[in-house]
Amino acid sequence: MDITIKKFARADTEAVMELLREFAEYEDLLQFLELTEERVERAFFADGSVAEGLVAMADGKAVGYAFFFPNFASFRGQRGLYLEDIYITASYRRYGIGEKMLREIARLAASRGYERIDFLVLDWNESAINFYKKLGAEMDQSERHFRFINDAFKALAA
């Protein structure tokens, strides 16, 4: 199987949106999926956008994607990338595609002088947790992830 990893481009939007729907179903979060092609355009391709992505291609089709953006860890003084999503469609897992994508993200981060990759994993996703640990990722169990969104965000911004 010939696997290639390429930079996410506008032409990939429809295929990646379908993969994202699969991912949302897999994580039982489909009811929260609000991403539209317009939001993809704004986040990834508009002037000043900071979101980036990679697409895994195999057998002539998109079989995985990763979305990420720059971040900063103040206590350590380290710049890095925050991995928002990484997903490989079920029938293409266990072929090394996820590791290949993570290595590409790490090389990209290192080429920019960054020192870390941060991400979250749902607590029930043992296969993902084991995958990341196998690659050397450290799990910080002392943190809780919070967000201001929808009405809470609007109230805070008012």
Is residue 132 annotated as part of the catalytic site, yes or no? Answer: yes
Q: What is the CATH number of the domain that holds 149?
A: 3.40.630.30
pLDDT attached to residue 62: 98
* Chain mean pLDDT for the chain: 95
pLDDT attached to residue 143: 86
pLDDT attached to residue 76: 94
Is the pLDDT score of 41 beyond 90? yes
pLDDT attached to residue 144: 83
* Plot region of 44 (φ>0 → left; ψ -120 to 50 → alpha; else → beta): alpha
Whether 67 and 53 have beta carbons less than 8 Å apart is answered as yes
What single letter denotes the amino acid at residue 94?
R
Structural domain tally of the chain? 1
Range of the domain at 46: 3-157
Q: Which two tokens stand for residue 121?
A: 């994993």
pLDDT digits (tens, 9 = 90+) for 90-136: 999 999 999 999 999 999 999 999 999 999 999 999 999 999 999 99
The mean per-residue pLDDT over the stretch 39-44 comes to 95
**How distant is the alpha carbon of residue 56 from its chain centre?**
12
Is the pLDDT score of 54 beyond 90? yes
User: What is the chain's percent helix, strand, coil content, to nearest 5?
Assistant: 40, 25, 35
pLDDT attached to residue 5: 98
pLDDT attached to residue 61: 96
pLDDT attached to residue 78: 96
